């Protein structure tokens, strides 16, 4: 059985133009302090989202595809232009 592994291509986060930002006030697991939907974790093709409460995205390897934001039923993840996120240090 094949499993995704982080880092085979090096730190790929520098390719990103959009950064996922999690709003814990909307995130089901963060709000309830219990395991919740974890759709972001399930659909992330790079396996860079942990399955813990609260969720954390490994930005060193996230390529900014936006699938996590698209699949989040609570709308807790938004994609922010990388240059804006760098200014505000999100």
Q: Domains in the chain and their CATH numbers? A: 13-88 (3.30.70.20)
Residue 77: the pLDDT is 97
- CA dihedral (55, 60, 64, 67) positive or negative: negative
Smallest Cα–Cα separation from 45: which of 23, 24, 72, 63? 63
pLDDT in tens, 31-89: 888 888 999 999 999 999 999 999 999 999 999 999 999 999 999 999 999 988 877 65
Q: What pTM, to 2 d.p., does this model score?
A: 0.83
């Amino acid at each position: 059985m094949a499993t995704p592994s982080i880092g085979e291509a090096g730190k790929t986060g520098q390719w990103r133009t959009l950064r996922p930002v999690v709003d814990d006030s909307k995130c089901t697991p963060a709000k309830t302090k219990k395991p919740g939907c974890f759709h972001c974790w399930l659909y992330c093709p790079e396996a860079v989202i942990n399955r813990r409460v609260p969720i954390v995205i490994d930005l060193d390897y996230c390529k900014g595809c936006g699938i996590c934001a698209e699949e989040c039923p609570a709308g807790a993840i938004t994609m922010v232009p990388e240059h804006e996120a760098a200014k505000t240090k999100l």
